[in-house]
């Protein structure tokens, strides 16, 4: 006779074994999917990190280039300023020693042209061609000239500095 208990037990053991096998296969599949996702995530993180490193290096290089340009700009304009100061000191010395005199030239107001002939012949106010100044007034005028030249050099420097900042994208154009 057929023993239903053994058949039921065999069926239960088979069902449990089948369920366990299905669970194991599904678990293995999920583990493989998770491992693949972890690898993709690690690759994405590495790509982001590499891009950040490249961007950081590019920013450092731009900053270095900017600092180099600004240093060259500083040196150039400082030299020009020193040259102007030296030139002005020489003019002051020449005026002080009497080797040179400061005079104002006349200009034709209608044409805005300076009259070189009038400057050379100017001896006083009689012919209204030009005005010569005393040595003290000449030194004062040269002092004012020095201040103007210095301010002009500073303005040119600042304009070039701002252009460099604009080229770097640090300020709007």
Distances 154 to 1, 7, 12, 150 between C-alpha atoms, Å: 116, 104, 96, 6
Q: What is the pLDDT of residues 112-170, one digit of tens each?
A: 565 555 444 444 444 455 677 787 888 888 889 889 989 998 999 999 989 888 888 77
Q: What is the pLDDT of residues 69-84, one digit of tens each?
A: 899 999 999 999 999 9
Q: Is the pTM of this model over 0.95?
A: no
């Amino acid at each position: 006779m057929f023993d239903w208990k053994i058949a039921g037990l065999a069926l239960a053991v088979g069902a449990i074994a089948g369920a366990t096998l299905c669970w194991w296969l599904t678990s293995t599949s999920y583990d493989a999917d998770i491992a693949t996702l972890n690898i993709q995530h690690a690759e994405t993180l590495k790509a982001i990190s590499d891009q950040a490193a490249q961007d950081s290096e590019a920013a450092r290089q731009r900053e270095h280039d900017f600092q180099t340009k600004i240093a060259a700009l500083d040196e150039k304009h400082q030299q020009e300023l020193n040259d102007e100061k030296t030139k002005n000191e020489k003019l002051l010395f020449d005026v002080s020693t009497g080797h040179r005199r400061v005079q104002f030239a006349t200009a034709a107001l209608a044409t805005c042209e300076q009259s070189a002939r009038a400057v050379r012949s100017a001896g006083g106010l009689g012919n209204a061609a030009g005005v010569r100044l005393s040595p003290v007034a000449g030194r004062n005028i040269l002092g004012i000239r020095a201040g103007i030249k210095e301010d002009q050099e500073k303005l040119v420097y600042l304009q070039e500095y701002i252009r460099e900042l604009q080229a770097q994208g640090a300020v709007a154009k």
